């Protein structure tokens, strides 16, 4: 496995692989890699000839006062994690390499960013779409792998790829959870042991909501209130949002299969997200 920091060097490697008729798979990440990232990478390795993993903490997707500076960074640990999954290359550019000079062109998306994290974090998805577009143009993968944990991001990337005619297949990967059900997240590293205990309330509240929905309760308002009540019982928890939306990211009144139950909760100072697609098997 090799680590490459510059765009010209990366392009040279990709050109070589293309001449050998290799299919390129791509897993974009912000590093601080955990088992869920590794599951994406392993799937990519299994389904492609050559796997590129990018590690880039994207400044454009962080708002003022968010955790850009303290976001965990550990290249040595990450490169071991990527290597053990059988990937071929880590693209680890300096911010200057990606953002150097003045950027005047951004990729923005209508409608799908007007709710959930897009509403709470203005500019976040513009930052995501702009940098993912740049990475797609640099890596030129055949397939790119994204996790359903960031369900609004996945929805937006799929639409962006369709709207802008990227010749890239977006592969959706399931949410990977720890044994107590909490979704793996690089931000779990911020949690104290007391906060870590409280953090399971996100997945527990989803689980109870799904039980109530399966028992016939289809009012979004009632389910949302049930979730909020359970979360608010935790001393360290502060709700950012609890929503049930359709695939256009619009709030629904009556719950239907395929709707998305999505939540964002601060546990202490750490903002965690989780979601469940109604009708899919709950495996935690």
- Enter the tokens of residue 216: 């016939």
Least gap, CB of 36 to ligand AMP (angstroms): 3
Tokens 């492609």 label which residue?
48
CA distance 251 to 134: 31
276 catalytically annotated = no
3 three-state secondary structure:
strand
Taking CB positions, which residue lies at the least distance from ligand AMP?
147
Least gap, CB of 17 to ligand AMP (angstroms): 22
Tokens 């850009």 label which residue?
68
Which residue number, 223 or 272, has a Cβ lying nearer to ligand AMP? 272
Which residue number, 127 or 147, has a Cβ lying nearer to ligand AMP? 147
- Enter the tokens of residue 254: 């009556």
CB 81 within 8 A of CB 87: no
Tell me the DSSP string of 141-184: -SEEEEEGGGHHHHHHHHHHHHHTT-S-EEEEE---B-TTSPBP
- Enter the tokens of residue 74: 């550990």
CA distance 32 to 72: 6
Which residue number, 61 or 140, has a Cβ lying nearer to ligand AMP? 61
Which residues of the chain form contacts with ligand AMP (CB under 6 A)? 29-30, 36-37, 40, 146-147, 149-150, 173, 175-176, 183-186
Least gap, CB of 166 to ligand AMP (angstroms): 16
Least gap, CB of 149 to ligand AMP (angstroms): 4
Per the residue annotation, which of 34, 37, 124, 276 is the catalytic one?
37
Which residue number, 155 or 185, has a Cβ lying nearer to ligand AMP? 185
* Radius of gyration (C-alpha) of the chain in whole angstroms: 19
Q: Among all residues, which ones are annotated catalytic?
A: 37
């Amino acid at each position: 496995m090799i680590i490459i920091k510059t765009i010209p060097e990366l392009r040279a490697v990709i050109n070589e692989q293309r001449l050998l008729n290799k299919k390129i798979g791509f897993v974009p990440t912000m590093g601080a890699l955990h088992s869920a990232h590794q599951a994406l990478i392993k799937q990519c390795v299994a389904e492609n000839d050559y796997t590129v993993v990018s590690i880039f903490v994207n400044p454009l997707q962080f708002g003022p006062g968010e955790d850009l500076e303290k976001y965990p960074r550990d290249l040595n640990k990450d490169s071991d994690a990527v290597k053990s999954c059988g990937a071929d290359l880590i693209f680890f550019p300096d911010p200057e390499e990606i953002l150097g000079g003045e950027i005047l062109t951004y990729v923005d998306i209508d409608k799908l960013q007007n709710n959930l994290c897009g509403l709470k974090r203005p500019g976040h998805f513009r930052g995501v779409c702009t940098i993912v577009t740049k990475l797609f143009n640099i890596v030129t993968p055949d397939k790119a792998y994204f996790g359903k944990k960031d369900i609004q991001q996945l929805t937006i990337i799929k639409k962006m790829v369709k709207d802008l005619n990227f010749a890239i297949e977006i592969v959706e990967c399931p949410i990977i959870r720890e044994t107590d059900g909490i979704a793996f997240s690089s931000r779990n590293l911020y949690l104290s042991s007391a906060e870590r205990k409280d953090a399971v309330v996100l997945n527990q509240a989803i689980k109870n909501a799904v039980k109530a929905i399966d028992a016939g309760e289809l009012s979004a308002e009632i389910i949302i209130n049930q979730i909020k009540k359970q979360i608010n019982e935790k001393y360290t928890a502060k709700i950012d949002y609890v929503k049930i939306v359709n695939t256009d990211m619009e709030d629904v009144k009556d719950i239907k299969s395929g709707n998305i139950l999505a939540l964002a909760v601060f546990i202490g100072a750490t903002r965690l997200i989780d979601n469940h697609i109604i009708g899919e098997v709950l495996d935690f």
